[in-house]
Chain A
Amino acid sequence: MLTLMSLLLFLLVLTNLTLLGSSRLAFCIRTVAVQGVVLGCIPLIGLHPFTLQHGLLSLSAVVLKGGVFPWLLLRSLRVARVKREVEPFIGFSVSLSIGFFVLIGSVVFASRLPLAGHHNHLIIALAIFTMVTGLLLLISRRKALSMVLGYLVLENGIYCLGAAVADHIPMVVEFGVLLDVWVAVFGMGIAMYQINREFDHTDVDRLTELRG
């Protein structure tokens, strides 16, 4: 089980770094989907005793994050007719380097957290790393779609942290979080469509004209 866990964690790190360094939007969407599937499998790998609820949760996470979201986002990608993220605020190589530093920093930070004994410091560190990756994507990218991806990655990080730390998260909370994410992405998809229809672009930067 431990090696399976290491494989999953390795995949997590890989997906995050890919997202930071890649400019092709379709590829990024698929990477986020993979990340979602990876995280959906975490309850199955034996951190906690396996129950039907865990199985249901992981199945719904895999379906939503691996299937529904990418489909929605690819559709909006097609409608908006964009292919690449050009000219982000923080360049791709720079954000990749920042990502490395953040990885090291989060491992250091997680090792200093006062956790109960049986919790794995590494998962916590990677969860924090995922969250920061998501925030970095949100801050540095121009296209609305990249911001949606950043939000999804952020949510993945939170989910990972929750799954690792909490022994008894009420299932309601977990499903609630999932529902929250679903509604947000759905809403954002509609919004992107409307923005594109209205303004012929989805550059969030150019939307500053709208401020009051």
Chain B
Amino acid sequence: MSPLFWLLILPFIGGLAALLDGRSKTRSALWALAGLTGALLSAAKPVFMVLVSGNNIAAALPWSMVAGPLELVLDPLSAFFLLPVVVLGPLFALYGGAYMRHYRQEGHWHGIHWFFYNLLAVGMILVLLTRNGLSFMVAWEVMSLAPFFLVLFHDREKTARHAAWIYLVAGHLGGILLLLFFLLLGTSGHSLDFVTFQPQLLSPGLRHLLFALAFIGFGVKAGILPVHVWLPEAHPAAPSHVSAYMSGVMIKMGIYGILRSIQLLGGPVFAWGMVLVLAGVSSGVLGVLFALAQHDLKRLLAYHSVENIGIILLGLGVGMIGISLGRPVVAVFGLAGGLLHVLNHSIFKGMLFLGAGSIQQQCTSLEIDELGGLKKRMPITALCFLIGSAAICGLPPLNGFISEFLIYFGAFQGQTVASAAAAWPLLLTLAGLALIGGLAAACFVKACGIIFLGSPRSTPAAKAGETGPAMYLPMLVLAAACCGIGLAAPYFFDLVRYPLAVLLPASLSPSPPFVGAVGRLTIISLVGGGVIILSLGTALIRFFLLRQRTVCRQPTWGCGYLYPDAARMQYTASSFARSITLFFDTILHSRVEGAVPGEFFPARIGLHSSTPDPLTRFCFTPLFSGIAKFLGLLRWMQHGRVQLYILYIVATLFLLLTALAGGWL
């Protein structure tokens, strides 16, 4: 039995066992975890072999679909995207088992929940392995439907139901576009198998249309602005390990889809690379701006996923521009940066969501302005969250910097040798990445600083404690991975060698730029290691210096306002972000409700600010309400009389029959 077969079957069996054993919370979680660990073990050897040698592994499943036998192919690109699916699935499941234990009221739901969690994993694996349009769509549907039930775990809460509904609608609107894409592309070959597609037979206009369909269709899943609107609703509503899996792994399937469709369409043209860069810049900058204005930690993290997808698109766009211009260095660095950022983002975004889950478990609320001082109470979680934040801002010596460096370098190299018409997307990439990096640092200083540092702003925060080992162990593993990838960058860069070969045309050989990249990354890792060693050295010197000086602790200076409550005088998260959100208010349209003090003497006043997604508010809600109103004009047809409905059918049939009989059709 091919290991690819086990890769699909084991998580499914684990999920079924969890469903049948749903009464017990721990046992159903263990069944699911067992299935996912089985998938990891069976995937380890094939993925390793494919990524190291560059050959494909194929297997055919013993039952036939409508379009032929179900063939599974593991090529380097699929293997690369399979890595986060199989490695992070069991880690998050381990966390989730402990996290969900305190949800007592949804007793029967646990088995169902773990069944759909494993089904999500199976769906993603199937998406990565199929090479047929029909089976791809079936797998895509399975992958899209499973999270609906996962998001709906807290089904008593209206926000969760609303979020699940928006997710479902958005996913299916994207799916329609994908169906169109595959059907149109299938007209070039004689079947829906990927190997039979012949894109060179299609007209350029049709190819542009197909790219647009694939980009928007997969973009809905990936969370590209402006079709990202389901992300900030679905991720906060789901339990944390589900948010981590969805945000870290599932949205990358959209990126995989975009890459695969560009490959199926016969390689990119300059216009497509430009579109990717533009989408990347807007997703990145707007994503981080929306994130800055949020008060809820999970919503903030969800918008950061949008931003990081923007960064990934920037890298892929730079790579596509490099391919279309025939510049191997630009192509290799851009694509490698984008692909590595896919991997890096799954790691640190997953870790951040797990941290948010730990905070939610201890403090119930995720309002940033109600937390504070958690570093002293939850030191391990705080350490992992801080490392994750530094990684997501792209700071050396962690892994986020490695992928951003590759994208920067590709863009810099490209703009020195390209003409003006070709270079402006690259310059936009540079400025965009810099701005995104700076704003992301601002946002995460706000999140980390207000949540973990200072003093607690509410009673639950003051009473929090560290979570159990099942919850902080996965976070420690991920934090170690962040540091490890940052410090051993050249080895991890080798992972993308063969996935790049799949994406690059045969005319661009990747080996010369590869060697250059490895050399630079070695120096970066060495400098990163140097920073750490020097810090330790400086810390040692400081320690010896301070041994002979007096050290004491005092309350900080508060200009006389520290009594009665020093915690209330601290800076809040909304104040921290205020200068930025005020500057960008035309984009954000924040709503501020509250009274400004009008009298001379102190009175009770309150201020509340919120930033609902401007695209939902000004674009999608009016659009859908308009459609609903227009369709309401047809309400007269829905009178409820069954007989008349049947009469409509009969009349149509009769007309058709007479037309047929009369020879008019």
Q: Within the complex, are A and B direct neighbours (CB within 8 Å)?
A: yes
Name the one of B641, B646, B647, B661 contacting A208, with C-beta atoms under 8 angstroms. Answer: B641
**How far is it, in angstroms, between the C-alpha of A129 and the C-alpha of B474 when the chains are bound?**
71
Q: Quick check: A204 and B642 within 8 Å, CB to CB? A: yes
Q: Can you sample 22 A-B contacts with CB below 8 Å?
A: A89-B643, A112-B661, A135-B646, A138-B643, A139-B643, A139-B644, A139-B646, A139-B647, A139-B650, A147-B642, A204-B641, A204-B642, A204-B643, A205-B641, A205-B643, A207-B642, A208-B641, A209-B640, A210-B640, A211-B638, A211-B639, A212-B638
* A182–chain B nearest beta-carbon distance, Å: 22
* B659–chain A nearest beta-carbon distance, Å: 12
Name the one of A109, A138, A207, A211 contacting B646, with C-beta atoms under 8 angstroms. Answer: A138
| Residue-wise interface mask of B (621-659) relative to A, using a CB-CB cutoff of 8 A (1 in contact, 0 not) | 000000000000000001111111011001000000100
The A-B contact count (CB < 8 A) is 32
* B490–chain A nearest beta-carbon distance, Å: 62
* B663–chain A nearest beta-carbon distance, Å: 9
* A109–chain B nearest beta-carbon distance, Å: 6
What residues of B have a CB within 8 angstroms of the CB of A209 in the complex? 640
What residues of A have a CB within 8 angstroms of the CB of B650 in the complex? 135, 139
| Residue-wise interface mask of A (188-203) relative to B, using a CB-CB cutoff of 8 A (1 in contact, 0 not) | 0000000000000000
Closest to B662 in A: A112
* B487–chain A nearest beta-carbon distance, Å: 61
What residues of B have a CB within 8 angstroms of the CB of A205 in the complex? 641, 643
**How far is it, in angstroms, between the C-alpha of A174 and the C-alpha of B647 when the chains are bound?**
27
**How far is it, in angstroms, between the C-alpha of A207 and the C-alpha of B661 when the chains are bound?**
38
| Residue-wise interface mask of A (130-158) relative to B, using a CB-CB cutoff of 8 A (1 in contact, 0 not) | 00000100111100000100000000000
* A89–chain B nearest beta-carbon distance, Å: 6
* A90–chain B nearest beta-carbon distance, Å: 10
Closest to A205 in B: B641
**Extra inter-chain contacts (10) besides given A109-B657, A109-B661, A211-B638, CB under 8 Å:** A135-B646, A138-B643, A139-B643, A204-B641, A205-B641, A207-B642, A208-B639, A208-B641, A209-B640, A210-B640
Q: Quick check: B639 and A140 within 8 Å, CB to CB? A: no
Quick one: which of A75-94 are within 8 Å of B by CB? 89
| Residue-wise interface mask of A (169-199) relative to B, using a CB-CB cutoff of 8 A (1 in contact, 0 not) | 0000000000000000000000000000000
B residues sitting closer than 8 Å to A (CB atoms) are 638-644, 646-647, 650, 657, 661
What residues of B have a CB within 8 angstroms of the CB of A208 in the complex? 639-641
Interface residues of B: mostly helix, strand, loop or mixed? Answer: helix
Quick one: which of A5-25 are within 8 Å of B by CB? none
What residues of B have a CB within 8 angstroms of the CB of A211 in the complex? 638-640
* A188–chain B nearest beta-carbon distance, Å: 12
* A134–chain B nearest beta-carbon distance, Å: 10
Q: Quick check: A140 and B640 within 8 Å, CB to CB? A: no
Question: How many residues of A sit at the interface, in one of the four size bands?
Answer: 10 to 19
**How far is it, in angstroms, between the C-alpha of A112 and the C-alpha of B663 when the chains are bound?**
10
Q: Quick check: B643 and A140 within 8 Å, CB to CB? A: yes
What residues of A have a CB within 8 angstroms of the CB of B644 in the complex? 139
Closest to B644 in A: A139
What residues of B have a CB within 8 angstroms of the CB of A138 in the complex? 643, 646
Closest to B642 in A: A204
**How far is it, in angstroms, between the C-alpha of A109 and the C-alpha of B662 when the chains are bound?**
10
B643, B644, B646, most chain A CB atoms within 10 A = B643
Quick one: which of A90-131 are within 8 Å of B by CB? 109, 112
What residues of A have a CB within 8 angstroms of the CB of B638 in the complex? 211-212
Q: Quick check: A207 and B657 within 8 Å, CB to CB? A: no
What residues of A have a CB within 8 angstroms of the CB of B657 in the complex? 109
**How far is it, in angstroms, between the C-alpha of A209 and the C-alpha of B641 when the chains are bound?**
10
**How far is it, in angstroms, between the C-alpha of A141 and the C-alpha of B642 when the chains are bound?**
11
What residues of A have a CB within 8 angstroms of the CB of B641 in the complex? 204-205, 208
**How far is it, in angstroms, between the C-alpha of A29 and the C-alpha of B598 when the chains are bound?**
82
What residues of A have a CB within 8 angstroms of the CB of B642 in the complex? 147, 204, 207
**How far is it, in angstroms, between the C-alpha of A164 and the C-alpha of B340 when the chains are bound?**
66
Q: Which 8 A-B pairs have the closest CB atoms?
A: A208-B640, A211-B640, A135-B650, A139-B647, A139-B643, A138-B646, A139-B646, A109-B661
What residues of A have a CB within 8 angstroms of the CB of B640 in the complex? 207-211
* A123–chain B nearest beta-carbon distance, Å: 18
* A159–chain B nearest beta-carbon distance, Å: 18
**How far is it, in angstroms, between the C-alpha of A210 and the C-alpha of B640 when the chains are bound?**
7
A139, A141, A147, A211, most chain B CB atoms within 10 A = A139
What residues of A have a CB within 8 angstroms of the CB of B643 in the complex? 89, 138-141, 204-205
What residues of A have a CB within 8 angstroms of the CB of B661 in the complex? 109, 112
* A167–chain B nearest beta-carbon distance, Å: 23
Closest to A113 in B: B661
**How far is it, in angstroms, between the C-alpha of A205 and the C-alpha of B643 when the chains are bound?**
8
**How far is it, in angstroms, between the C-alpha of A210 and the C-alpha of B644 when the chains are bound?**
16
Closest to B638 in A: A211
**How far is it, in angstroms, between the C-alpha of A71 and the C-alpha of B650 when the chains are bound?**
30
What residues of B have a CB within 8 angstroms of the CB of A147 in the complex? 642
**How far is it, in angstroms, between the C-alpha of A89 and the C-alpha of B17 when the chains are bound?**
55
**How far is it, in angstroms, between the C-alpha of A211 and the C-alpha of B644 when the chains are bound?**
14
* B340–chain A nearest beta-carbon distance, Å: 51
**How far is it, in angstroms, between the C-alpha of A32 and the C-alpha of B642 when the chains are bound?**
22
**How far is it, in angstroms, between the C-alpha of A79 and the C-alpha of B643 when the chains are bound?**
24
* B425–chain A nearest beta-carbon distance, Å: 50
B640, B647, B650, B661, most chain A CB atoms within 10 A = B640
Closest to A207 in B: B640
* A180–chain B nearest beta-carbon distance, Å: 18
* A126–chain B nearest beta-carbon distance, Å: 16
* B636–chain A nearest beta-carbon distance, Å: 12
What residues of B have a CB within 8 angstroms of the CB of A212 in the complex? 638
Closest to B643 in A: A139
What residues of A have a CB within 8 angstroms of the CB of B647 in the complex? 139
* B635–chain A nearest beta-carbon distance, Å: 10
* A139–chain B nearest beta-carbon distance, Å: 5
**How far is it, in angstroms, between the C-alpha of A162 and the C-alpha of B644 when the chains are bound?**
28
Closest to A132 in B: B650
**How far is it, in angstroms, between the C-alpha of A210 and the C-alpha of B638 when the chains are bound?**
11
**How far is it, in angstroms, between the C-alpha of A138 and the C-alpha of B641 when the chains are bound?**
12
**How far is it, in angstroms, between the C-alpha of A139 and the C-alpha of B640 when the chains are bound?**
13
**How far is it, in angstroms, between the C-alpha of A208 and the C-alpha of B657 when the chains are bound?**
31
**How far is it, in angstroms, between the C-alpha of A210 and the C-alpha of B641 when the chains are bound?**
10
* A106–chain B nearest beta-carbon distance, Å: 10
Closest to A110 in B: B661
* B622–chain A nearest beta-carbon distance, Å: 24
